[in-house]
Amino acid sequence: MNGAVEFSLDLPELSFRAAGDSLVRRSVLPSGVRIVSEHVPGSRSLTIGYWVAVGSRDEEPGHFGSTHFLEHLLFKGTAKRTALDIAIAFDSVGGEHNAMTAKEYTCYYAKVQDKDLPMAVEVLTDMLTSSLLDPVEFENERGVILEELAMADDDPADVANERFFEAVMGDHALGRPIGGSPDTIRAATHAAVLEHYRANYRPQDLVVTVAGAVDHDVLVAAVTRSLALAGWDLSVFAPPVGRRSGAPAALSQGDPVTIVRRPLEQANILMGFPGLLATDERRVTMSVLTSIFGGGMSSRLFQEIREKRGLAYSVYSFAPGYSDAGLFGMYAGCTPAKSGQVAELMLGELHRLADNGVTADEMKRAAGQLSGASALALEDSDTRMSRLGRAEITLGEFIDLDEALRRLARVTADDVQNLAAELAAGSLSISAVGALDDDVFAAILPTFVPS
């Protein structure tokens, strides 16, 4: 492979070799179903994912929380299988199955031995196409989801993270919590979730990705057969749903400072700025910046705040990207009395990097960390399966390890410094959970009263 491979929506078949001599194949069926596989030599197992490009950001008023609700309900049984039958199917072969709802997609996945691929396809297809969405189970699952949200609300880091997204993203749909809120889950109706299901779980929405010990022809035959048995008419032509626009959204910042007061021994602090889109060509530069700044034990944040000063146990940076927005954040957990000092140090380190740049040794370490971590991650079929899904749904191109390393090698110290300066010039947002006073961050944002 030399360069990225485009995943064109109107190309019915695609096949190529990727790094490590893996074979990537892709089929776009006339019905719009997309099936992508990566055969990894020497594998005896595989990970399979059924994706739809709908997440929490896609919910309309009256449907908030429907995506997460639906994820739960698809495990509750079909006309052919009870919830217990679904669990037994995977438990009896030593497999794993689960699902994840994100801001821009939902994925139902399983990991099994290669010989159990037909079972995994049959069960996942049945779940996705033929869920009963039983009204009684709907009410039972409402209670389960409320317990899940209550558990998250007891985690101060989770609470700070949700408030941080709200602050940076403002009224953008990406600022809403993925799982909904207790109010939206209590207000959700069976009819709204059913409408959400019918509108977004169609042939043209479905992406199936498999990585590991997989034969693409066998996979395509199994998927098409199971979908047909489920009642989907695959003879009806439909183009795959288009990918999201990559045009940057105009973000309107929420409350610059948000403090959630709780009588805790430690304060959880998140602070940061708008970041890069998922498709921004500078994402690899962002990876280098994040590695140097707060990506490991040798990073600037870890060394300055934990090692030199002993002010925090956990401190790091992160930079998620989405189709039309992104953010760059810094996290630290420390005693409330040290919160103001820690926040000043984190922001000061970012400005120091923006003003003075990075060293050659830091660039070398970041390149080694990122290349090594990427190679190690690809030892797991879960990572490869997710890479296929991201390529199909978000990026529109496949980037193998060799191409990723080529792009990494082209990043310069000036690139990193310029990006740091751009981030630091943005609108700063802070969220914190703990026993904190109103003026704890006054030295950073003196004119704002916390919400």
Q: Contact at 8 Å (CB) between 384 and 212?
A: yes
Nearest to 268 by CA among 435, 421, 397: 435
The Cα 427–Cα 425 span in angstroms is 7
The Cα 31–Cα 240 span in angstroms is 8
267-274 and 327-334 beta bridge pairing: antiparallel
Nearest to 229 by CA among 351, 57, 449, 78: 78
The Cα 334–Cα 161 span in angstroms is 16
- Note if 71 is an active site residue: yes
137: CB partners within 8 A, 6+ apart:
73, 76, 77, 83
Which is the catalytic residue, given 6, 59, 60, 71? 71
CA 66 to chain CA mean position, Å? 18
Q: Contact at 8 Å (CB) between 67 and 51?
A: no
For 269, list phi and psi in degrees, rounded to 5: -120, 130
Catalytic residues: 71
